[in-house]
């Protein structure tokens, strides 16, 4: 259990629509819909995603640009990708 503050920037919402949602510090939500959901710290949600009735766990650290490029090369994703739809999930 962490007991110290994280000193993160506030969540960055870019044309995001939130309804009955909680968003953790340091998260970046870009042109998405979040409805009845909890989004943890340092989460990235890409364009045109829809998150409903879900819990999205946060990250322990931000990936560097190099780390993100390596993750994408291996076929994994570090964000909820553009156009993704998640409902009733714990992610």
First to last CA, the chain: 20
Q: Cβ contacts of residue 25 below 8 Å, gap of 6+?
A: 6, 8, 9, 10, 11, 41
Range of the domain at 37: 12-81
pLDDT tens digits, one per residue of 46-59: 888 889 999 998 88
Write out pLDDT tens, residues 18-33. 999 999 999 999 999 9
pLDDT category at 90 given cuts 50, 70, 90 is: confident
How many domains, the chain?
1
Residue 22 included in any domain: yes
Portion of the chain with pLDDT greater than 90, in percent:
38
User: What CATH number does residue 63 fall under?
Assistant: 2.160.10.10
Q: Which of 90, 86, 84, 91 is nearest to 30 (CA)?
A: 84
pTM of the complete model beyond 0.95: no
79 versus 10: which is more confidently predicted? 10
Any domain includes 70: yes
Token pair of 49 as six digits: 């995603």
Identify whether 19 is part of a domain: yes
């Amino acid at each position: 259990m962490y007991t110290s503050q994280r000193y993160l920037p506030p969540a960055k919402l870019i044309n995001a629509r939130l309804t009955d949602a909680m968003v953790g510090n340091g998260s970046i939500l870009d042109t998405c819909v979040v409805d009845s959901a909890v989004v943890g710290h340092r989460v990235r949600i890409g364009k045109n995603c829809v998150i409903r009735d879900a819990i999205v766990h946060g990250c322990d650290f931000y990936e560097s640009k190099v780390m993100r490029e390596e993750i994408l090369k291996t076929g994994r994703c570090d964000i909820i990708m553009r156009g993704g739809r998640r409902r009733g999930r714990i992610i």
